[in-house]
Structure 1
Amino acid sequence: MKTSRYRWVILGVATFTQAAASFFVQGIGAMSVHLRRDLELNTTQLGLLQSAAQLLPLAGLLVVGRLLDRHDERWVVGIGALVVAVALAAGGAAPGYASLLVVLLIAGAGYSAIQPGGSKSVASWFDASQRGLAMGIRQAGLPLGGVLAASALPVLATAFGWRSTLVAGAFVALSGAVAFMAFYRRPPDRPSMPATSRVRLELLREPYMKKIILSGTSMVSVHGGVGVLTVLYLHEVTSMDSASAALVYVAVQCAGALGRICLAAWSDRHRSGRYACVTTCLAAVIIGMTVLTTPIGRSPVAACLVFIWLGFFGIGWYGPWVAYAAESAPPDHTGFALGLAMAVNQVAVILAPSVLGLLTDLTGSFAPAWALLAALTAVTLTTTARL
């Protein structure tokens, strides 16, 4: 039954697998200074590294969504994490930038299974009274992976070179795969999976799906911008040394993990529903991005506080968002609906880091990137309020 204590084991292993599979990619931002120096990259090329890991999930999430409606999450998620591990292990021999892009493309294909698969596994074990909190804890795995990566990978890159960070990422991803396949079980009261299930692209016409997609695309763009530009901004604009900037990035990821838990738990009790919590995050991001475009944002102290604020809301939004998405979908199409929403999000996930990096290179300033994210978020807030 869903009140079984084993649901907390499921939550723990799903969170760990999420953190393990996202470990390396979430650490790219923290290694931005090292990668730019060692591979002689500009900001656009650095953004493309983030985008490469998200390209194949554009189609992979839809495929995985269908698989999750037909097959056990245990094997879908476990095999996906294994693909991430194998790709990163091979990347330890990458000769340069181009091969690193290929490695991240393959790792991204494996990662396609982690987000929707882990989300569905947690949603199926927890009822509505605790689903937001559970989803928030599970989704905190992403920034927690970022915290660990930001703490460890720059140190490894300094001591042993950037290739060593891929090998470390492979071992971490492998541990996540083994843990999920060893401990995951389907809830005993869940009905058998249907042999066939009709694809429902008409879900895109539903008002709730429009809210999910619009808010998702704008906020993953914010997350991508914070991920790829935070350390560079602190280093180049506020004159902070790279080690201190990486520590701030750790704090940003910690704030994101805390936000995912707190905001999702709040959504369990919010009288206006879970989407009201997402709306709060949209408004908070607009404020933070606007401050970064002003002279206040050039102060090291102020910038650090703003990035932590953006970490809490600009990363923390995902907890209530994914709970809202899982609950809004038809019961027999939860996997496909999650995969569909996340696949549409992938367009922004792919484009945002490289576009923001290119905009920064072309203008010689970070302000246009922050202004673009603020404007995109403001349009989303206004539009979804009318749906």
Structure 2
Amino acid sequence: MPRQRWVVLVAGLIAVTAGCAVQYGAPFLIPALRADGLTLAQAGLLAGCPIAGLLVTLVAWGAAADRYGERRVLTLGLGAGGLVLLAGARLHGSVALGATFLLAGAATAAVHAASGRLVLGWFAAHERGRAMAIRQCAQPLGVAIAALALPSLSHPSATHSGLPLAVAALGGGCLAATGLALALVRDPVGPRSAAGQLPGSPYRSPTLWRIHGASSMLVVPQFVIATFSLVYLVDVQGWSAAPAGRLLAAAQVGGAATRLAAGYWSDRVGSRLRPMRLLAVATGVVLAALAAATLASATAAAVVALVVATMLAVSTNGLAFTAVAERAGSAWAGRALGVQNTAQNALAAATPPVFGLLIGVLSYGVGFAVAVAFPVLACLLVPVGDEATGVGAAQRPPVSDRREGPRERR
């Protein structure tokens, strides 16, 4: 049983990585889209289409995971997304590409609801921070893969036509991950534990809403950096796309490491929200340094700050997801994680076009400076007081529990 839960976690990690490469990798196609004649704002709008697709289906996928189990939802959504991308690779024009990304994002949204519930079902409270951190490494790893592959694949050459190959590669990755998930992912079985579950809806108190709000604020700087870092290095710093992609891929791997460290930290201190607030403060400080260095044309300092900001901006996601799942309990986890993802991705979808317009009219330095406001707002929203006084902590399984009973198969 201990071995199986780690196999399930790794298979889920790979599945979510493939989905995240689709959902959050589109910004690395911006140089190719601009070469096709699109403005930065138009390319940013296309880059936000997969995230916009998520918004339509996240809660529905979460409810389906609560009802039918994670394995079915994970494989159905990821497989459908892969087929959509392979079909879309044969189409032409920005409208067709946008529709393909919308549909692929809507389908692959399933990976977020299903994989988060697997962590809640298979892992006990004292190890859930680390387990969720491993699962949440999928997002920076997916972005890292996209940063390495998409700039080169989307560049036309004598052997391939550019964008269609990049889109097809994303689809192939989804289908490969679908097969792995189908073979290895298993829903936990056994008596359902009541630990960590509220009577009725967990949304009767403001705690979950505040966690959703804080984590949504932290998504904005994350997606400002993820969307515009490549084009910033190309346009402002004079890098070519391929080495810039390699640097950002390495930074995303560093982001995965910060998520792991944050999860381990939260297990050690018995808190998800205190580390989340401190990391939000650190993110704001580094973003301010990036804005200042960019406005002052301090090239080396700006590149260093960009790399550090890339790593820190993603560090809090696992903490927020763990706090939401524990607060909601297994009966509500799928829906609560669906709401969590919807709130985050609503702002994530709006970030590329809004900041693309802002940067286009003003400058990258101003855009980075505006992004500093969002970690500040997050610090104000994180409900640390609830957790410290037991209002939030009382709803979680006690840390002394060695294992929460797996969920009953429906």
| 2:144 partner amino acid | V
Contact 1:238 1:299 in 2 (8 A): no
Counterpart for residue 224 of structure 1: 223
Q: Deviations over 1:278-305 (max 9, x none)?
A: 1122111111211122136633332232
Q: CA deviation at 1:157?
A: 2.0
Q: Deviations over 1:193-226 (max 9, x none)?
A: xxxxx997x6445232133112221111122111
1:99 is the counterpart of 2:110: no
Counterpart for residue 305 of structure 1: 304
Residues 223, 205 of structure 1: alpha-carbon distance in 2 compared, 3 angstrom cutoff: farther
Aligned counterparts of 1:373 and 1:204: Cα–Cα separation in 2: 29
Aligned counterparts of 1:24 and 1:341: Cα–Cα separation in 2: 19
Report SS of the residue matched to 2:192. coil
Report SS of the residue matched to 1:95. coil
Q: Deviations over 1:340-371 (max 9, x none)?
A: 121122210111111111111122x0122212
Structure 1 gaps of 5+ residues are: 193-197
Instruction: Report 1:48-197 matches (<5 A).
Output: 48-158=45-155, 159=157, 160=160, 161-191=162-192
Aligned counterparts of 1:199 and 1:338: Cα–Cα separation in 2: 18
Selected match of 1:277 from 270, 275, 278? 275
Contact 1:46 1:228 in 2 (8 A): no
| 2:80 partner amino acid | V
Aligned counterparts of 1:105 and 1:199: Cα–Cα separation in 2: 37
Q: CA deviation at 1:82?
A: 0.9
Counterpart for residue 9 of structure 2: 11
Aligned Cα root-mean-square deviation (Å): 2.2
| 2:323 partner amino acid | Y
Counterpart for residue 238 of structure 1: 237
Aligned counterparts of 1:211 and 1:269: Cα–Cα separation in 2: 23
Aligned counterparts of 1:334 and 1:65: Cα–Cα separation in 2: 8
Instruction: Report 1:319-358 matches (<5 A).
Output: 319-358=318-357
Aligned counterparts of 2:183 and 2:292: Cα–Cα separation in 1: 51
Contact 2:30 2:47 in 1 (8 A): no
Q: CA deviation at 1:19?
A: 0.9
Counterpart for residue 397 of structure 2: none
Aligned counterparts of 2:84 and 2:199: Cα–Cα separation in 1: 31
Residues 360, 13 of structure 1: alpha-carbon distance in 2 compared, 3 angstrom cutoff: same
Residues 383, 188 of structure 1: alpha-carbon distance in 2 compared, 3 angstrom cutoff: closer
Report SS of the residue matched to 1:355. helix
Aligned counterparts of 1:28 and 1:300: Cα–Cα separation in 2: 26
Higher alpha-carbon deviation: 340-349 or 109-118: 340-349
Contact 1:15 1:138 in 2 (8 A): yes
Residues 286, 99 of structure 1: alpha-carbon distance in 2 compared, 3 angstrom cutoff: same
| 1:53 partner amino acid | P
Contact 1:24 1:165 in 2 (8 A): no
Aligned counterparts of 2:173 and 2:40: Cα–Cα separation in 1: 27
Q: CA deviation at 1:380?
A: 2.2
Selected match of 2:382 from 377, 384, 387? 384
Give the % identical residues. Answer: 27
- With the length of structure 2 as denominator, give the TM-score of the two structures: 0.86
| 1:43 partner amino acid | L
Contact 1:137 1:260 in 2 (8 A): yes
Structure 2 gaps of 5+ residues are: 386-410
| 1:253 partner amino acid | Q
Report SS of the residue matched to 2:269. coil
Counterpart for residue 261 of structure 1: 260
Q: Deviations over 1:116-135 (max 9, x none)?
A: 11111122111111111111
| 1:246 partner amino acid | G
Contact 2:219 2:347 in 1 (8 A): yes
Aligned counterparts of 2:56 and 2:331: Cα–Cα separation in 1: 21
Aligned counterparts of 2:18 and 2:294: Cα–Cα separation in 1: 36
Q: CA deviation at 1:13?
A: 0.1
| 1:162 partner amino acid | L
Residues 58, 72 of structure 1: alpha-carbon distance in 2 compared, 3 angstrom cutoff: same
Aligned counterparts of 2:80 and 2:262: Cα–Cα separation in 1: 32
Aligned counterparts of 1:274 and 1:386: Cα–Cα separation in 2: 9
Contact 1:14 1:122 in 2 (8 A): no
